[in-house]
Structure 1
Amino acid sequence: MQIQPNVRTIEGALFEAFVKSGAVSKDNADDPVKVSLARAARTDAGVHAAGNVVNMKLITSPPGVDDLVASVNNNLPPEIRVWDIMTYDTHRSCDSRKYTYFFPTYLLIPPRPGSGLFYSLRRQNGDPPAHQFWDFIDQPSEEAHSEASDQVKLAARLKELQRKRAWRIGVVELDALRAAVKRFEGTHNFHNFTVDKDFRDRSNQRHMKSIQVADPVVHGETEWVSVLLHGQSFMLHQRKMMAILILSVRTGTPPNVIDEMYGPRGVTVPKMPALGLLLEYPVFEAYNGKIMAANERIHDPNDPEHRQLIDFEVHREIIEKFKNEYIYSRMRAIEDNQAIFDAWIHTIDAYTGQDLLYLNHEGNIPPESVIKKGERRANRFKDRKQFNSTDYTNGTQLSSLPFLDADCEEEEEKFYEKQTETED
């Protein structure tokens, strides 16, 4: 979102469009600082937004321009739109923000038998009950597992992926999701859901006003579900909230593990792919309340002192059309072509270390999972940078094994061999 030198950003494109439309004077056209450009909410690189508020000083009626919104949009690429232009300062009045995370429901299928996470759960909880999804799998021998060619592995993974996309969430999983998200509501210390923050840092305190899990919907072959998060503010990489939500449900970990993570002990929580994250819009409840009270005293909507409310719902129809055309359709196409979410969950299941041992049937954090300052951890979990992006235009297709990460496969094979020797 935020303008940066020599980087393509939304604010940079907006500023150029306003310049071309005559809404920024020639004297100010060389530097956005001159028009006090600011925004109500930022987004990480690659994270989508359906609504935001950008504040800048503008010429609201440039000569020869009858409709400034239409003129600016004509000078923007189609994936960036201006919904409205208002004539007063707003960027310091944002009370809260709404985000949606959109993901395939197959992420809730329990870990694959024989994977690192499967064995981790078995060591902690005993033999897990077999999940019917994995009934089709014949467990390979050690020799067959290590000697299988990439073509054989690809065929097996495609078969597995096809079955995942045909899987549909049940009442049990959906109820578990809805119960778990309630643990995020209210004011908590989110130090474990961001990066490089000490428990005592007051900036970790965040208030979640409400979180809602929508009913699942099917697009193409895949079922998707969305989670709407309404909070006063969000932290860097707070996609970790979604990760612990999904991982706890798919492993049968009680939701009290989320409460444990608000405590002083630091743990590693994976980040969900950026692909599924969407800023819906910033919310201006207190500001709108003041404007409504002021407008009631004015009575006449044509009075120069009469002000508009900042209400994205007025534009709901065109915003939904935009989301479906430029955001959701793109998310789904990338997942269909490159199985990004499947690749992510594959890296989770392949992990063989101790960082995720809090995924257990007690919902507690064992000492082995606690990060101690200055201590080097063997086989620590590492997030893959590839999941921080939503730009996969130059990425590989399924036939190029995007989900068979070389490092991940090697790690899983070594663990498989060691585990087989132990069991023998």
Structure 2
Amino acid sequence: MSAEGHTSEPSVSQNDDLSSTIPAAASPESVPTANGTPAEGNNQQRKRGRGDSKKVRRENYNKRQHHGNYTPVRQLPRDRNEDEEDGEAKERQPKRKVACMVGYCGTGYHGMQINPPQRTIEGDIFNAFVKAGAISEDNSNDPKKSAFMRAARTDKGVHAAGNVISLKLIIEDPDIVEKVNSLLPDQIRLWGYSRTTKGFECRKHCDSRIYEYLIPSYSFLPPKPGSALAKQINEMADKYPGVTRDDPEGARFWVDVAHQVKVAGINEDEIRAAYAEALEEQALNQQKPKDEGSLKTFLNLSDDQFREFKQIRAIENVARRAYRISAERLDLVRLAMKKYEGPHNFHNFTIGKDFNDPSSRRYMKSLVASDPKIIEGTEWISIKIHGQSFMLHQIRKMIGMAAQVVRTGAPLDRINEAFNRRKINIPKAPALGLLLERPVYTNFNERLKSFGRDAVSFDAYNDMMEEFKMKYIYDKIYAEEAKENVFYGFFGFIDNFKGDVHLFDYLTAKGFPEDDDSVPITDAVLKEMDEEDMEELEGDNEG
């Protein structure tokens, strides 16, 4: 079994020398006879050699104890294995401290870290090591015995093209990598390993980590006209003119969609009026119907109205997938990402952290948005985030904040203001697009050179990793978005959110309130926005 922290009860091995547990015999002078005088022959015993003296004292002790209700402890014979019975002792194979480079698709797993009884990436990898003979049976009941550690913990559903595990392995077999991979599912790969120093800890010695986030370009389109957030943006723009950006491109997109709906003979205003109350209830209570039947009941629409509702949704889906981001909007995305570079206080980009908590300060080395790529009709943008370390949900909230600032026309400096003391709620973007690209060990690799060891690096596996990403990570992300409309669902929920407090005033011309207490972000409100956050454990990880 691979249950971490699971140890068996203490027991005495048959290989132990149990005679060593017998107390030393009392001094001969102190052993009385029946009449209370020292036993005869004690002086002679004292004159014997040292070895004989110990033997006699032990025999006398056992004899005395045997007269009572105690049976002397007999030294048990050492257990023999099959090899020894054949006259051949089983050789104990040496263990070496190594860094294992791995990659995996997180779909179907409850995250990276071993967490019995759930199925996890580490659990499958550890079991494969044991079955392949890289971990002995003696150490197979507890990963801690092998000093098992990961560089970065990824949460449920998060993928990694490259991650590092450090541990002590038996690596005498030259085909050990192939054997381990033959015991793993195709969505988990051991790329290779590097010998390290005994004190190597993959998490502690990691200089930085590179993540990738894939997002459809339509995610940067403005909120749909008539939605709660769109109305709020327009109202604040009238009240505080000249603060937010005009977005003629985004306006044209929604005008074209409205025209297509009208050509289809659908009166969208009537449909929206029919389910407006249900939408508001959904936004307040986060009720999410699981299938079309329950959605129809939830929206309280007639058969004809529900058919037209689905037509509208289909028209919008086609339009979003056909959208191609303009150079101007892509520049805004890149400028927004640059706002995160350098040292900042990211207390608003995680949960359970205060502004004064020193661990809230993190250093981002670079954020780079790629040129768009069209995959099966949908345009995607890859964003590479290189930072020293990350907190829980930090990257997803960074992406969420940048996307909201771009799509609402809010000043890009609102990102800088989020680093200040004021507490705000930043929704985290879907986990679907996130993957760990690789940990980086620049400084430690310099030390390894002096030992004549190979660097802890993924460079030798780049081609295999790219092929793996395309087949087991990218394709799954694209397919799930095409089927489930994950990103549309996320931004649509934000656009239609209605509450008692103006959680998203900072995305409008109004901006952040001067009085910190004017927007009370309580635990109850945060839980309403994202219940699962309250169940997550904090850690120096992203997910």
With normalisation by structure 1, the TM-score equals 0.83
Q: Any conservation in 2 of the 1:106–1:167 contact (CA below 8 Å)? A: yes
What does 1:243-282 align with in structure 2 at a 5 Å threshold? 243-282=400-439
Matched with 1:285 is: 442
Q: Any conservation in 2 of the 1:268–1:371 contact (CA below 8 Å)? A: no
How far apart, in 2, do the equivalents of 1:28 and 1:380 lie? 42
How far apart, in 1, do the equivalents of 2:268 and 2:397 lie? 33
Q: 2:349 aligns with which of 193, 198, 202?
A: 193
Structure 1 window deviating more from structure 2 (257-266 vs 130-139): it is 130-139
Q: Any conservation in 2 of the 1:49–1:281 contact (CA below 8 Å)? A: yes
Matched with 1:70 is: 178
How far apart, in 1, do the equivalents of 2:364 and 2:271 lie? 50
What does 1:298-337 align with in structure 2 at a 5 Å threshold? 305-337=451-483
Q: Letter of the aligned partner of 1:119 in structure 2?
A: K
Structure 2 counterpart SS, 1:270: coil
Q: Letter of the aligned partner of 1:66 in structure 2?
A: P
Cα deviation, 1:328-373, whole Å, max 9, x if unaligned, reads 0000000111111111111011113410110024754565896547
Matched with 2:164 is: 53
Q: Any conservation in 1 of the 2:422–2:516 contact (CA below 8 Å)? A: no
In 2 relative to 1, CA 7–38 (structure 1 residues): closer, same or farther, beyond 3 Å?
same
Q: Any conservation in 1 of the 2:397–2:428 contact (CA below 8 Å)? A: yes
Q: What is the CA-CA distance between 1:45 and the residue it aligns to?
A: 1.6
How far apart, in 1, do the equivalents of 2:223 and 2:321 lie? 16
Q: Any conservation in 2 of the 1:100–1:226 contact (CA below 8 Å)? A: yes
Q: Any conservation in 2 of the 1:69–1:84 contact (CA below 8 Å)? A: yes
Structure 2 counterpart SS, 1:57: strand
Q: 1:26 aligns with which of 128, 133, 137?
A: 137
Q: 2:221 aligns with which of 80, 89, 109?
A: 109
Matched with 1:12 is: 123
How far apart, in 2, do the equivalents of 1:374 and 1:243 lie? 20
Name the larger-Rg structure: 2
Q: What is the CA-CA distance between 1:151 and the residue it aligns to?
A: 2.3
In 2 relative to 1, CA 144–50 (structure 1 residues): closer, same or farther, beyond 3 Å?
closer
What does 1:404-423 align with in structure 2 at a 5 Å threshold? none
- RMSD value over aligned CA atoms? 2.4
How far apart, in 2, do the equivalents of 1:202 and 1:183 lie? 20
Structure 1 window deviating more from structure 2 (245-254 vs 283-292): it is 283-292
How far apart, in 1, do the equivalents of 2:527 and 2:253 lie? 29
Q: Any conservation in 1 of the 2:349–2:398 contact (CA below 8 Å)? A: yes
Matched with 1:99 is: 211
How far apart, in 2, do the equivalents of 1:158 and 1:6 lie? 41
Matched with 2:490 is: 344
Report the identity percentage. Answer: 41
Asked whether 1:230 is paired with 2:386, we answer yes
Matched with 1:162 is: 318
Q: Letter of the aligned partner of 1:57 in structure 2?
A: K
Q: Letter of the aligned partner of 2:444 in structure 1?
A: Y
How far apart, in 2, do the equivalents of 1:194 and 1:263 lie? 14
How far apart, in 2, do the equivalents of 1:31 and 1:68 lie? 21
Relative contact order, higher structure (CA 8 A, sep 6+): 1
Q: Letter of the aligned partner of 2:343 in structure 1?
A: T
Q: Letter of the aligned partner of 1:29 in structure 2?
A: S
In 2 relative to 1, CA 240–287 (structure 1 residues): closer, same or farther, beyond 3 Å?
same
Structure 2 counterpart SS, 1:27: helix
How far apart, in 2, do the equivalents of 1:29 and 1:380 lie? 40
Asked whether 1:242 is paired with 2:399, we answer yes
Matched with 2:273 is: 145
Unmatched runs of 5 consecutive residues or more in structure 2: 1-111, 276-300, 536-543
Cα deviation, 1:289-308, whole Å, max 9, x if unaligned, reads 2233x1xxxxxxxxxx4100
Count of residue correspondences: 373
Unmatched runs of 5 consecutive residues or more in structure 1: 295-304, 389-424
